[in-house]
């Protein structure tokens, strides 16, 4: 079977203080850091850190029922929340994974993600304790 996942699209890091985390990446690590962006549909505020080969997304909770709020309760200093791999055909990827016993979070249907493209999340217990996002590019 040919490769299903492609480039590492981004690593998402949940942070308790978005401005402080952005300043750390900009000033200490010398990275190209964008402005904070509210994404109310996804329950997060995001700062994109542009690297030559991928992105880091700094996430902080926005509003009720944020997907990162419970994570930050367990990891108050922040931590890696998920990693995102690119796929060419998200429906085919989903079908292959389900056939192999992997669990898709939610109703199993792709949703439009933070970049306006279809995404799915895979259960971390099926992938070495890592929450994996697949994004169709
Ligand atoms: Co993501």
86 CA distance to ligand 1 middle (Å): 11
**Ligand 1 ion: Cβ-proximal residues, 5 Å cutoff:** 12, 84, 133
Q: Domain 8-136, CATH 3.40.190.10 — does that match?
A: no
> According to DSSP H, which parts of 5-132 are helical?
18-23, 69-74, 90-99
Mean pLDDT, the chain cut into blocks of 10 residues (137 residues total): 89 98 98 96 94 97 91 96 97 96 94 91 96 97
> What does the alpha-carbon distance between residue 95 and residue 47 come to, in Å, rounded to a whole number?
32
Paired tokens of 106: 């939610």
Q: What is the pLDDT of residue 3?
A: 84
């Amino acid at each position: 079977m040919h490769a299903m996942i492609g480039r590492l699209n981004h690593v998402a890091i949940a942070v308790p203080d978005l401005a402080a985390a952005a300043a750390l990446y900009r000033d200490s690590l010398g990275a190209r850091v964008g402005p904070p962006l509210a994404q109310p549909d996804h329950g997060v505020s995001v700062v994109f850190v542009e690297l030559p080969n991928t992105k880091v997304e700094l996430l902080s909770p926005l509003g009720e029922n944020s997907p990162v709020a419970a994570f930050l309760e367990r990891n108050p200093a922040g931590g890696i929340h998920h990693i995102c791999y690119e796929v060419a055909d998200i429906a085919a990827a989903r079908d292959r994974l389900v056939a192999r016993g992997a669990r898709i979070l939610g109703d199993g249907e792709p949703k439009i993600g933070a970049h306006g493209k279809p995404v799915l999340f895979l259960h971390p217990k099926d992938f070495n304790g890592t929450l994996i996002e697949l994004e169709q590019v």
